[in-house]
Amino acid sequence: MKLLLTSSGIKNDSIETALVELVGKPKNEIRFAIINEAYAVEDGDKRWIIDEMSELSVRFGGPVDLVSLLALSSEQIKGRLEPADVIYVLGGNTDYQQDVFNRSGLTKLLPQLLENYVYVGSSAGSMVMGKRVGSEAYLQTYGEKGDYGVKQYLEYVDISIKPHLNSPDFPNNRVPKLQAMVDTSGDAGFLPLYAIDDQTAIQVVGNDVKIISEGEWKVFE
User: What pLDDT sits at residue 182?
Assistant: 87
**Amino acid at position 161, single letter:** I
Three-state DSSP at 207 gives coil
Q: Give tens-digit pLDDT for 9-58.
A: 999 999 999 999 999 999 999 999 999 999 999 889 999 999 999 999 99
Q: What's the average model confidence in pLDDT over 124-148?
A: 80
**pLDDT (tens digit per residue) in 210-221:** 999 999 999 998
Domains and CATH numbers, the chain: 2-220 (3.40.50.880)
- 46-99 pLDDT, tens digit per residue, is 999 999 999 999 999 999 999 999 999 999 999 999 999 999 999 999 999 999
**Three-state SS for 217?**
strand
Residue 144 in contact with residue 28, Cβ under 8 Å?
no
Judge whether residue 144 has pLDDT over 80: no
For residues 88 and 120, the answer to whether their CB atoms sit within 8 Å is: yes
Q: Would strands 32-35 and 64-67 be described as parallel, antiparallel, or unpaired?
A: parallel
Note the pTM of the prediction, 2 decimals.
0.94
